[in-house]
């Protein structure tokens, strides 16, 4: 059981001291993080945490908040797992089951290019060939054994058509990531949670062998060994405790420290969806989401890119902008968020207006961030890096077209 900061009437002075120390040290450790988390509802503590996180962000990232203009390509929505919150995954006999053909991939990419997008986000279910004979036969008809072999072809189509792929395909082996690396600017896997409890019967990840935390940590390590710019993240509100959230963030920090490959950490709140076993679970309050974005910033430090998806909290972008994030993630002018289809993207123009109204500057990035792109060439195949560099200016961000601002075009 986590103890609050103190038993005295006001925890605020101690919270302010913890936050101030964390900002100066550029790190928040487990015990003080636990004490802050246990006191967030006490008067003034949330504001202190937000202010500290914002200051940490300001020191590390200045006044910039970035966004990636992308297209979302759910290459297949078949998946061998059954996460209790998911509506993305379909059974092969569902009328909504879909695997994109390579010509459909090319069509989406061409549409994205016309809309000024740079990123093709390939997001798909985990190893459906293990669970479904029909999908194995579909692959075999194309001379393939695994969905990843097909994904390599799709990423090649995406890259050669003119887009920068970013793949999130669930658990991949080192060999699979190696095969994908030449065609991907970056890859990702939400760590989601290091909680083993969530794999127990009745919990979110019971029917999900690919949500074993040890397996997910191992993939992060292998991506680090392969020098792949890598996106991780935490999923909030799926049954985990505050202690487990902090443990997850500390694990991401440890991976980033050991390998230097974690390019961003997503802080994503769970939203209950109808027709799922977790439909009755309440969503996190907006203030709690903002508090955990802020704690992520303090734990991970000013150098980390911290992202919160704007479509999952459209009413409170201003609150999120106070919480230390420096990235809105991928926002598409063309395609929906297939993971959260009920949550439309804000128009980029609107995102820019609200970001700037909060005193910050919206900039457009690629699916890789400037630090790795400009200063760590070992993270890229030369051809991929050259392609990325052609799209950015000296800051590493996409320059606005002359006489206008890139992100306003949508």
Instruction: Give least dist CB 295 to ligand SF4, A.
Output: 24
Which residue lies nearer to ligand SF4 by CB, 79 or 109? 79
Q: Please select the residue that binds ligand SF4; options are 72, 88, 100, 345, rule is CB under 6 A.
A: 88
Looking only at the bridges linking them, the beta strands covering 306-307 and 361-364 are unpaired
Residue 237 CB, shortest distance to ligand SF4, in Å, is 14
Nearest distance, CB of residue 81 and ligand SF4, angstroms = 4
Which residue in 295, 308, 238 sits closest to 270, CA to CA? Answer: 238
* Contact between residue 373 and residue 385 where contact means Cβ atoms under 8 Å apart: yes
Interface mask (CB under 6 A) for ligand SF4, residues 294-313, using x and -? --------------------
Pairing of strands 361-364, 230-236: unpaired
Per-residue contact string for residues 102-141; x = within reach of ligand SF4 by CB under 6 A: -----------------------xx---------------
Name the minimum Å distance from CB 98 to ligand SF4.
13
Q: Return the residue of 79, 154, 293, 300 that touches ligand SF4, per CB under 6 A.
A: 79
333 touches 115 (CB < 8 A): yes
Contacts of 338 (CB under 8 A, 6+ apart): 72, 74, 77, 88, 123
Q: Which of 210, 364 has the CB closer to ligand SF4?
A: 210
Which stretch, 84-92, 130-138, 252-260, 369-377, contacts ligand SF4 (CB under 6 A)? 84-92
What is the Cα–Cα distance from 347 to 331, expressed in whole angstroms?
8
- By CB under 6 A, is residue 14 in contact with ligand SF4? no
- The span from the CA of 200 to the CA of 298, in Å, is 30
Q: Which stretch binds ligand SF4 (CB under 6 A): 38-46, 77-85, 218-226, 241-249?
A: 77-85
Q: Is 337 a binder of ligand SF4 (CB under 6 A)?
A: no
CB of 84 to ligand SF4, least distance (A): 9
Residue 252 near residue 235, CB atoms below 8 Å: no
Task: Annotate each residue in 163-192 with x if it binds ligand SF4 (CB under 6 A) or - if it does not, as one string.
Answer: -------x----------------------
Beta-bridge partners for 70:
119
SS (H, E, C) 168-219: ECCCCCHHHHHHHHHHCCEEECCCECCCCHHHCCCCCCCCCHHHCHHHHHHH
DSSP annotation of 87 reads S
Positive or negative, the CA dihedral 364, 367, 372, 373 is negative
User: Is 86 a binder of ligand SF4 (CB under 6 A)?
Assistant: yes
Rule CB under 6 A: say whether 81 interacts with ligand SF4.
Answer: yes
Of 61 and 166, which has the nearer Cβ to ligand SF4?
166
Asked if residue 184 lies in contact with residue 163, where contact means CB atoms within 8 angstroms, the answer is no
CB 214 → ligand SF4: shortest distance, Å? 16
Q: How many residues bind ligand SF4 (CB under 6 A)?
A: 12
Residue from 89, 154, 308, 363 touching ligand SF4 (CB under 6 A): that is 89
Is residue 58 at the binding interface for ligand SF4, with CB under 6 A as the rule? Answer: no
C-alpha separations of 378 from 382, 385, 387, 390 in Å? 9, 10, 15, 17
The region that residue 215 occupies, defined by phi over 0 for left and psi between -120 and 50 for alpha, beta otherwise, is: alpha
Residue 226 contacts by C-beta under 8 Å, 6 or more apart in sequence?
174, 177, 178, 181
Distance CA 218, CA 188 (A): 13
Instruction: Give the C-alpha separation, 124 to 127, whole Å.
Output: 9
**Residue among 88 and 379 whose Cβ is closer to ligand SF4:** 88
State in angstroms the smallest separation of the CB of 206 from ligand SF4. 11
Residue 83 interacting with ligand SF4 (CB under 6 A): yes
Choose one: 25-33, 78-86, 96-104, 107-115; the region binding ligand SF4 (CB under 6 A). 78-86
Q: How far is the CB of 248 from ligand SF4 (least distance, A)?
A: 16
Task: Choose among 211, 172, 182: nearest CA to 81.
Answer: 211
* List 58, 59, 82, 405, residue binding ligand SF4 (CB under 6 A): 82
> Considering only CA atoms, which of 51, 25, 48 is closest in space to residue 37?
48
Q: Tell me how far, at minimum, the Cβ of 139 lies from ligand SF4, in Å.
A: 18
Binding residues for ligand SF4 (CB under 6 A): 79, 81-83, 86, 88-89, 125-126, 170, 208, 210
């Amino acid at each position: 059981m986590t103890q609050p900061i103190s038993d005295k009437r006001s925890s605020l002075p101690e919270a302010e001291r913890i936050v101030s120390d964390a900002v100066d040290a550029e790190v928040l450790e487990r015990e003080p993080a636990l004490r802050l988390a246990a006191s967030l509802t006490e008067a003034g503590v949330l504001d202190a945490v937000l202010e500290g996180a914002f200051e940490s962000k300001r020191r590390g990232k200045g006044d910039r908040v970035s966004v990636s203009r992308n297209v979302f390509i759910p290459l297949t929505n078949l998946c061998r797992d059954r996460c209790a919150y998911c509506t993305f995954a379909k059974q092969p006999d569902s009328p909504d089951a879909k695997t994109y053909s390579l010509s459909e991939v090319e069509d989406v990419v061409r549409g994205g290019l016309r809309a000024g997008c740079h990123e093709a986000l390939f997001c798909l279910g985990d190893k459906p060939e293990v669970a479904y004979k029909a999908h194995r036969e579909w692959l075999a008809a194309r001379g393939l054994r695994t969905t990843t072999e097909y994904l390599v072809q799709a990423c090649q189509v995406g890259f050669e058509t003119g887009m920068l792929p970013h793949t999130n395909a669930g658990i991949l082996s080192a060999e699979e990531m190696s095969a994908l690396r030449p065609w991907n600017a970056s890859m990702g896997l939400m760590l989601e949670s290091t909680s083993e409890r969530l794999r127990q019967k009745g919990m979110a990840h019971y029917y999900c062998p690919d949500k074993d935390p040890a397996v997910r940590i191992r993939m992060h390590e292998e991506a680090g060994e392969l020098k792949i710019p890598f996106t991780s993240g935490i999923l909030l509100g799926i049954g985990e405790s505050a202690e487990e959230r902090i443990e997850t963030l500390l694990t991401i920090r440890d991976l980033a420290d050991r390998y230097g490959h974690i390019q961003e950490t997503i802080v994503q709140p769970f939203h209950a969806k109808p027709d799922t076993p977790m439909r009755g679970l309440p969503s996190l309050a907006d203030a709690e989401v903002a508090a955990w974005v802020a704690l992520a910033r303090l734990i991970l430090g000013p150098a980390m890119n911290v992202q919160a998806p704007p479509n999952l909290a459209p009413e409170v972008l201003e609150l999120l902008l106070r919480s230390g994030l420096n990235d809105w993630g991928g926002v598409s002018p063309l395609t929906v968020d297939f993971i959260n289809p009920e949550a439309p993207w804000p128009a980029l123009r609107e995102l820019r207006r609200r970001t700037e109204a909060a005193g910050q500057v919206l900039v457009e990035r690629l699916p890789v961030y400037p630090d790795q792109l400009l200063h760590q060439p070992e993270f890229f195949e030369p051809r991929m890096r050259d392609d990325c560099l052609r799209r950015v200016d000296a800051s590493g961000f996409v320059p606005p077209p002359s006489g206008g601002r890139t992100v306003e075009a949508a």
